[in-house]
Amino acid sequence: MADSSDDEVPKHVLFKDRPEWKDIEPLGEYDSDEEQPVVNIEYSAEFKDCYDYFRAVAQKREYTQRVLDLTDTAIKFNPANYTIWGYRFDTLKALEKDLRPELEYTKRIILKQPKNYQVWNYRNLIVTELQDASNEKELTALALAEDSKNYHAWDYRISILRDFKMYDGELEFATQMIEDDVRNNSAWNYRDFVIHRTNNFWDGVETDVIKSEIEYTLDKITKLMDNESAWSYLRGILANISGGICGSKRVNDFCHNLYYNKGNRCRFLLSFMLDCCFRDHEVTYRTKEGDERGPQLLARIKELCLELATEHDVTRKQYWMHLSKSFEKMIIKAELERQLYPSSEDEDSTCSCSTED
């Protein structure tokens, strides 16, 4: 390990040894004659010294430059101390400081401690005060380059997009992140967020955007079948069209081909087809067709559940068996209702993936 001299940290001087702090009496958490607290942390001398001085100035409500410097040290020792961050913010406001340098300051901390709630929240406060989010995409991209699934970074980027309406180029960003790791679920989630925020989906119309998202996703599934992220995204997109999960002929044919022609038994495919059957039943049981299709669909549902429970997804056996019974109960209930209250309206909708031709 070769340390460059730039990285050398100057030796830390205790606050009690600093002349500019002579007027302050440090304040411990406990008086010396008090009992030992539980969960007693063995603080280093530097940590205790710093926080004793912080408690003293906080009690006096001192908001000065030296307190600002003190919060810097206190944050270094424990960036998760939300009280310190709040005090720092109040001090900056009291001193009428320019908040811009805080961007550089928080950036340094975020890149060192990217999983800390407090620093992201503090940055958000600063950016909101400045009403300037022009650096935020770059910062989150840097954090995501380190850890492409960092929840804080994605969450923060989402809030910035929403608060500052900065959606331009974000679909491309999602595409790039998915390209880097097609199993990065955070990136897929982000894609869903961007797509829904930048498009209007109305009346269940299968718009061009939906069509192209379907193609995009089917392509990813074809390349890596066993990727739950892509299958879930597909469900999310289909939820926007009438017919829902089985409302797209393209997707139905895709599944049908995988299952019947290629013999694919990926658990996500089976689970998808299962929900398709159920949805199909929901849509058709009120129609003339329902008489015949109802029992067919129920049989298919039970078959798929059994296949999953015993062969392709044994870990979730209890769930698939439960689902099979639940579907059966719900379908029988629906059938009974249909016989009791027959409806004349004819909805046409069929799902080609659910039963074999």
Among 317, 332, 336, 337, binds another protein (CB under 8 A): 317
Among 211, 235, 249, 338, binds another protein (CB under 8 A): 235
Sign of CA dihedral 314, 316, 321, 323: negative
193 is an interface residue for another protein by CB under 8 A:
yes
Q: How many alpha carbons fall within 13 Å on the CB side of residue 4?
A: 2
- Residues numbered 243-262 forming contacts with another protein, rule: CB under 8 A: none
Q: Which of 93, 115, 223, 329 is catalytic?
A: 115
Say whether 137 is catalytic.
Answer: no
Among 53, 233, 259, 285, binds another protein (CB under 8 A): 233
336 is an interface residue for another protein by CB under 8 A:
no
Residue indicated by tokens 């320019």: 98
Residue 133 Cβ vs another protein, minimum distance, rounded to whole Å:
16
Given the complex with another protein, which of 262 and 322 has the nearer CB atom? Answer: 322
In angstroms, the CA 50 to CA 260 distance is 69
227 is an interface residue for another protein by CB under 8 A:
yes
Residue 312 contacts by C-beta under 8 Å, 6 or more apart in sequence? 265, 266, 267, 270
DSSP 9: P
Pattern 279-308, another protein, x by CB under 8 A: ------------------------------
94 is an interface residue for another protein by CB under 8 A:
no
Closest CA to 179 of 223, 138, 214: 223
Residue 357 Cβ vs another protein, minimum distance, rounded to whole Å:
28
Span near another protein by CB under 8 A; candidates 91-99, 146-154, 213-221, 280-288: 146-154
Residue 165 Cβ vs another protein, minimum distance, rounded to whole Å:
14
355 is an interface residue for another protein by CB under 8 A:
no
Given the complex with another protein, which of 66 and 149 has the nearer CB atom? Answer: 149
DSSP 255: H
Angle at 135 between CA 173 and CA 179, to 5 degrees: 15
Sign of CA dihedral 290, 294, 300, 301: positive
CA torsion 207→210→212→213, rounded to 10°? 170
- 275 near 301, Cβ under 8 Å? no
Closest CA to 303 of 338, 334, 327: 327
Pattern 51-90, another protein, x by CB under 8 A: x---x--x------------------xxxxxxx--x--x-
Given the complex with another protein, which of 213 and 287 has the nearer CB atom? Answer: 213
15 is an interface residue for another protein by CB under 8 A:
no
User: What are the helix (H) ranges across 199-239?
Assistant: 208-223, 228-238
131 is an interface residue for another protein by CB under 8 A:
no
243: left (phi > 0), else alpha (psi -120 to 50), else beta?
left
112 is an interface residue for another protein by CB under 8 A:
no
Span near another protein by CB under 8 A; candidates 7-15, 100-108, 144-152, 167-175: 144-152
155 is an interface residue for another protein by CB under 8 A:
yes
Closest CA to 141 of 102, 167, 174, 106: 174
Among 1, 2, 9, 41, binds another protein (CB under 8 A): 41
Binding residues for another protein, rule CB under 8 A, total 71
124 is an interface residue for another protein by CB under 8 A:
yes
Q: How many alpha carbons fall within 13 Å on the CB side of residue 50?
A: 20
Give me 111's structure tokens: 């890149």
Among 13, 20, 25, 44, binds another protein (CB under 8 A): 44
- 74 near 81, Cβ under 8 Å? yes
236 is an interface residue for another protein by CB under 8 A:
yes
Given the complex with another protein, which of 231 and 259 has the nearer CB atom? Answer: 231
Closest CA to 327 of 309, 357, 304, 346: 304
Residues annotated as catalytic are 115
